[in-house]
Amino acid sequence: MTMGTRGLPIGWRLMAWREWRLLWRSPVLLTLTIIYPLILMLMLMLVFQAGVPQQLPVAVLDQDNSDLSRHLLHAVAATPEVAITDSVHDLRQGRALIEGGRVRGLLYLPQHLERDLLAGQRPEVVFFYDNQWMSTGGIVARGVMQAVTEVTAEMRVASRMAQGESMAHAAMAVQPVQVQASPLFNPALNYVHFLLAALLPAVLQIFIASTTAYALGLDVRTRYRLRVMRRLAGGVWPAMVGKLLPYTVVFLLVLAVADGILFGVMGVPLRGSLMVLLVAAVGFVLASQLIGALVVLLVRNISTALSLVAVLMAPAFGFMGIGFPREGMNLFAQLWGYLIPGTWFMQIRVDQTVRGTPWEVTVWPLLGLLVMVTLLAWMVILRLIVWQRPWLQTRTTRRAKSDTSAAGEGAATP
**What is the mean predicted confidence (pLDDT) over 264-274?**
83
Contact 147, 79 (CB under 8 A): yes
Average pLDDT of every residue of the chain = 80
- When comparing pLDDT for 28 and 151, which is higher? 28
CB atoms within 10 A of CB 118: 15
Indicate the residue type of 78.
A
409 CB-contact burial (10 Å; exposed 0-12 / middle 13-18 / buried 19+): exposed
Residues 174-203 have pLDDT tens digits of 665 666 666 677 666 677 777 777 788 888
Residues 297-341 have pLDDT tens digits of 888 888 899 999 988 888 777 778 777 777 778 888 888 888 889
Backbone angles phi, psi at 154, to 5 degrees: -60, -40
Q: For the chain, give the percent of residues with pLDDT over 90.
A: 16
Contact 40, 267 (CB under 8 A): no
pLDDT surpasses 90 at 211: yes
Q: Whose CA is closest to 51, among 203, 269, 256, 255?
A: 269
pLDDT surpasses 60 at 5: no
Backbone angles phi, psi at 127, to 5 degrees: -125, 115
> Residue 9: what pLDDT?
54
**What is the mean predicted confidence (pLDDT) over 109-132?**
82
Tell me the pLDDT band of 254, cut-offs 50, 70 and 90.
very high
Contact 198, 268 (CB under 8 A): no
Length of the chain: 414
Indicate the residue type of 77.
A
Residues 331-374 have pLDDT tens digits of 888 888 888 898 899 888 888 888 888 878 888 889 999 999 99
> Residue 404: what pLDDT?
45
Q: Whose CA is closest to 265, among 324, 210, 196?
A: 196
Torsion of CA 344, 347, 353, 356, to 10 degrees: -120
Q: Let me know the angle formed at the C-alpha of 201 by 302 and 218, rounded to the nearest 5 degrees.
A: 15
Beta bridge partners of 61: 108
Backbone angles phi, psi at 404, to 5 degrees: -65, -40
Q: Among 93-102, 127-136, 316-325, name the one with the lowest average pLDDT.
A: 316-325
> Residue 178: what pLDDT?
63
Contact 284, 374 (CB under 8 A): no
Task: Determine the 3-state secondary structure of 265 from DSSP.
Answer: coil
